[in-house]
C-alpha cells in the first residue's frame, strides 16, 4: 500500500510558558484512535518533548525522528529509546569567528534575539558559546526589548562593532514576528554589517555566517526516517546541516573582500551583469558581426583588387594602344617626317604617363649631350639643347655602359653623383628615367623626368618606356640606314650637306627640334615661336632661358 502522512501544527510558539499538553493529548487521542502509526516526526525541541512525553498514550512504541533540535534544550529526553534525528547546530561561536576574520578591526560584538521561547533557546546557546570570547572582544546581549528599541540601538552602533542576529519571534510587548522579516528589518537598520546563521535571513540584509540549512535538516531526517522504517536504529546526527553562506550584495555594500571568506564558503546573490545575462547572445552577435566584417572586408578587398586590376589593365591597354599607334606611324613615315613624329610621340608619352619632360638626346664624342627632340609640359621651363657631359658624369657613365638610369628622387642620389644631383636640382628635375640605345655607333638615350613631384619608376613602367624607346631607336636606325645608302650612291662619296644637320625650333610649351631638310610639321602650332638661349649658371650647369621672338 501507499504511505500516508498526517501533519499536526501544535503552534507551541504561541505559548510563553507550558503548552496545554492535556488538551492537545485528548485531541490527538480522538483524532488518531484506530489508526496504526509507524513513525512520528517531531520538529523543534518543544515538539520533540511533547512527542516523547505523550508517546505512551498517543503512539506507544512508535519510533520518533526529530528535526533541528538543540541538544541542550532536549537533554532531558535525548536518552529515550527508539529516538533519532538531526541536531540543531546554532553556530554563534563559528559565526563570530567569521565576523572577526572579515572585520579584523572589530572590538565589540552585539548579539540580538527576541523574547519568544525559541528566541530564549538561541540566546542561551549564544551565552554558552560566546563566554570564552570575553577576553578577546566586548560582548553585549540585546533581548527582551521592544522591537522599536532594538532598531534604535542597532542603528547607533560604532564602526568597530559586529552585529549577530538570532531568532526573533516575539518582542518585550508580546508582539509576534516572522523571524526572517524581523531579522531583515534589523539588518537594514543596522549601521554595521549583520551576521546570522538563520538561512531565511541570508538574502534579506545579513552578510552571512555559519548558517543552519533547514533544507538539509529535512533531507537528513528523511534519510533517517527511511532507515528506521527499514528496521535500522541510526544514531542522531548534525552532519551536513550547516553551511558557510554569504550574500554577495552585502559583501559589496560593506566593502568586504570575498577573498577573506573561509574555504568552502557559498556566495549567493551575485548581481547579474549584462555580460552574465547576455554573454551567449553577445558572443553569438560578435561572431556574426566578425564573420560579416570578414566577408565585407573580403568583398571590399576583392573590389579594390578588381579595381586595381581593371585600372592596371586599362592602363596597359592604353599604353599598348599608344605603342601600337607609334609603331604604325613610324612604320609608314618617310625619313623627312620622322622628326615631327618623334616630337609628337614624346608629347603623347608625357601626357599619357603624367610626366613633365621627355627628350631624345645623343651623347656625342665631343663630350656634349645634344638634345635632338624634346617636349615639355606647359608652365615648365625647357631643358638646354646642349649640355656638357661633365655636368652629369655619374648618369652619363651608366648610359654609355648601356644601363638604364632610374632615379626616383634626385635628392637621394649617392655622394659620388653629387655633381649630377646639383645640376638636376638646377633644372628642377625631381625624378628621372633614361633608357640608352645605340644607332650608327653613337650612344643615344630617351629621358623622361618630372618636375612637379617625385615619381617612382617600377619595373613595369620602365619596361614600357624601354619599348617606346625601341620604337624611336628603330626609326633612327632606319633613317641612318637610308642616309648611309644615299651617301654611298653620291658621286665620289660626298655627303649632302643637309642630310644630317638639324637646327632646333620651339613651339609654346612644346620645344621641337627638326632637321633643315624636313618639311614644316603639319601639326598646328600651339602658340607663337620662342627662341631658347643657354647660359651658364652659378653652379656650372647649363640652364635655358626663353624669350619671345620679335
pLDDT tens digit string along 84-93? 999 999 899 9
Q: Is residue 439 part of a domain?
A: yes
Q: Is residue 86 part of a domain?
A: no
Where would I find the H helices in 429-513? 459-489
Q: Rounded to whole angstroms, how far apart are CA atoms 364 and 377?
A: 26
What per-residue confidence (pLDDT) applies to 531? Answer: 30
Q: Which residues pair with 543 in a beta bridge?
A: 535
What per-residue confidence (pLDDT) applies to 72? Answer: 83
Q: Rounded to whole angstroms, how far apart are CA atoms 297 and 452?
A: 35
Q: Confirm if 351 and 374 have CB atoms less than 8 A apart.
A: no
Q: In this predicted model, which residue has the larger pLDDT, 489 or 141?
A: 141
pLDDT tens digit string along 263-305? 999 999 988 878 878 888 999 999 999 999 999 999 999 999 9
What per-residue confidence (pLDDT) applies to 315? Answer: 83
pLDDT tens digit string along 299-343? 999 999 998 888 888 888 888 888 898 888 888 888 788 888 999
What per-residue confidence (pLDDT) applies to 286? Answer: 92
pLDDT at 224 over 90: yes
Q: Is 232 exposed, middle or buried (0-12, 13-18, 19+ CB in 10 A)?
A: exposed
Q: Is residue 389 part of a domain?
A: yes
pLDDT tens digit string along 101-125? 999 999 999 999 999 888 988 899 9
Task: Tell me which of 178-182, 241-245, 412-416, 527-531 is least confident.
Answer: 527-531
Quickly state the pLDDT bin for 480 (edges 50, 70, 90).
Answer: confident
Q: Rounded to whole angstroms, how far apart are CA atoms 317 and 236?
A: 99
Q: Is residue 518 part of a domain?
A: yes
Q: In this predicted model, which residue has the larger pLDDT, 534 or 61?
A: 61
The interaxial angle of helices 21-31 and 45-58, nearest 10 deg, is 50
Q: Is residue 205 part of a domain?
A: no
Cα dist from 71 to 46, 235, 330, whole Å: 12, 13, 121
Element (H, E) at 119: helix 117-130
Q: Rounded to whole angstroms, how far apart are CA atoms 207 and 99?
A: 9
Query: What's 374-386 look like in SS3?
Result: EEECCCCCCCCCE
The cell for 294 is 570578414
Best CA proximity match to 451, nearest among 434, 430, 420: 430
What per-residue confidence (pLDDT) applies to 79? Answer: 78
pLDDT at 522 over 80: no
Residue 498: alpha-carbon gap to chain centroid: 78
What is the residue range of 372's domain?
333-491+501-544
What per-residue confidence (pLDDT) applies to 1? Answer: 60
Q: Rounded to whole angstroms, how far apart are CA atoms 207 and 216?
A: 21
pLDDT tens digit string along 143-181? 999 999 999 999 999 999 999 999 999 999 999 999 889
- The torsion region of residue 31 among left (phi > 0), alpha (psi -120 to 50) and beta comes to alpha
Mean pLDDT, the chain, rounded, equals 84
Task: Tell me which of 16-25, 202-211, 366-375 is least confident.
Answer: 16-25
Share of the chain above pLDDT 70, in %: 87
What per-residue confidence (pLDDT) applies to 541? Answer: 59
Strands 161-165 and 108-112: parallel
Q: Rounded to whole angstroms, how far apart are CA atoms 51 and 37?
A: 13
Quickly state the pLDDT bin for 535 (edges 50, 70, 90).
Answer: very low
Q: Is residue 455 part of a domain?
A: yes
Q: Is residue 51 part of a domain?
A: no
The DSSP annotation for 477-498 comes to: HHHHHHHHHHHHHSGGGPPPTT
CATH number, residue 515: 3.30.450.40
Q: Number of folded domains in the chain?
A: 1
Q: In this predicted model, which residue has the larger pLDDT, 550 or 129?
A: 129
Strands 502-507 and 64-69: unpaired
What per-residue confidence (pLDDT) applies to 550? Answer: 27
Amino acid at each position: 500500500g501507499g504511505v500516508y502522512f498526517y501533519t499536526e501544527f501544535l503552534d507551541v510558539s504561541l505559548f510563553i510558558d507550558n503548552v496545554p499538553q492535556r488538551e492537545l493529548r485528548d485531541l490527538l487521542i480522538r483524532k488518531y484512535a484506530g489508526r496504526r502509526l509507524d513513525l512520528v516526526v517531531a520538529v523543534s525541541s518543544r515538539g520533540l518533548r511533547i512527542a516523547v512525553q505523550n508517546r505512551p498514550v498517543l503512539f506507544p512504541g512508535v519510533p520518533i525522528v526529530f528535526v533541528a533540535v538543540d541538544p541542550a534544550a532536549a537533554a532531558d529526553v535525548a536518552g529515550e529509546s527508539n529516538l533519532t534525528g538531526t541536531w540543531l547546530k546554532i553556530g554563534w561561536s563559528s559565526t563570530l569567528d567569521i565576523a572577526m576574520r572579515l572585520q579584523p578591526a572589530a572590538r565589540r560584538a552585539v548579539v540580538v534575539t527576541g523574547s519568544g521561547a525559541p528566541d530564549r533557546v538561541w540566546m542561551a546557546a549564544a551565552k554558552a558559546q560566546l563566554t570564552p570570547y570575553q577576553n578577546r572582544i566586548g560582548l553585549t546581549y540585546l533581548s527582551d526589548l521592544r522591537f522599536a528599541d532594538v532598531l534604535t540601538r542597532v542603528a547607533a552602533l560604532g564602526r568597530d562593532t559586529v552585529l549577530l542576529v538570532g531568532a526573533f519571534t516575539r518582542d518585550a510587548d508580546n508582539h509576534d514576528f516572522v523571524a526572517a522579516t524581523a531579522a531583515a528589518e534589523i539588518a537594514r537598520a543596522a549601521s554595521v554589517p549583520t551576521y546570522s546563521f538563520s538561512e531565511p535571513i541570508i538574502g534579506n540584509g545579513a552578510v552571512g555566517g555559519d548558517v543552519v540549512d533547514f533544507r538539509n535538516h529535512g533531507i537528513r531526517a528523511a534519510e533517517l526516517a527511511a532507515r528506521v522504517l527499514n528496521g535500522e536504529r541510526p544514531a542522531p546526527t548534525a552532519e551536513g546541516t550547516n553551511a558557510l553562506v554569504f550574500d554577495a550584495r552585502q559583501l559589496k555594500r560593506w566593502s568586504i573582500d570575498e577573498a577573506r571568506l573561509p574555504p568552502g564558503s557559498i556566495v549567493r546573490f551575485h548581481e547579474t551583469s549584462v555580460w552574465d545575462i547576455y554573454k551567449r547572445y553577445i558572443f553569438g552577435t560578435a561572431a556574426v558581426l566578425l564573420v560579416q566584417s570578414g566577408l565585407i572586408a573580403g568583398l571590399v578587398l576583392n573590389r579594390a583588387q578588381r579595381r586595381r586590376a581593371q585600372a592596371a589593365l586599362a592602363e596597359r591597354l592604353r599604353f599598348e594602344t599608344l605603342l601600337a599607334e607609334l609603331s604604325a606611324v613610324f612604320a609608314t613615315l618617310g625619313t623627312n617626317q620622322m622628326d615631327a613624329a618623334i616630337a609628337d610621340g614624346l608629347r603623347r608619352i608625357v601626357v599619357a604617363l603624367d610626366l613633365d619632360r621627355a627628350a631624345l638626346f645623343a651623347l656625342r664624342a665631343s663630350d656634349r649631350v645634344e638634345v635632338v627632340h624634346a617636349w615639355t609640359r606647359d608652365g615648365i621651363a625647357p631643358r638646354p639643347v646642349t649640355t656638357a657631359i661633365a655636368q652629369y658624369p655619374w648618369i652619363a657613365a651608366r648610359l654609355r655602359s648601356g644601363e638604364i638610369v632610374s632615379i626616383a628622387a634626385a635628392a637621394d642620389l649617392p655622394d659620388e653623383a653629387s655633381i649630377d644631383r646639383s645640376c638636376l636640382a638646377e633644372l628642377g628635375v625631381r625624378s628621372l628615367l633614361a633608357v640608352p640605345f645605340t644607332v650608327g655607333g653613337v650612344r643615344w638615350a630617351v629621358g623622361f623626368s618630372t618636375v612637379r613631384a617625385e615619381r617612382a619608376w617600377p619595373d613595369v613602367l620602365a619596361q614600357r618606356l624601354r619599348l617606346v624607346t625601341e620604337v624611336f631607336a628603330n626609326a633612327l636606325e632606319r633613317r641612318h640606314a637610308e642616309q648611309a645608302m644615299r651617301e654611298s650612291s653620291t658621286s665620289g662619296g660626298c655627303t649632302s650637306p643637309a642630310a644630317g644637320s638639324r637646327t632646333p625650333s620651339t613651339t609654346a610649351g612644346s620645344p621641337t627640334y627638326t632637321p633643315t631638310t624636313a618639311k614644316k610639321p603639319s601639326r598646328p602650332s600651339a602658340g607663337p615661336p620662342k627662341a631658347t638661349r643657354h647660359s651658364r649658371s652659378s653652379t656650372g650647369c647649363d640652364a635655358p632661358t626663353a624669350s619671345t621672338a620679335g
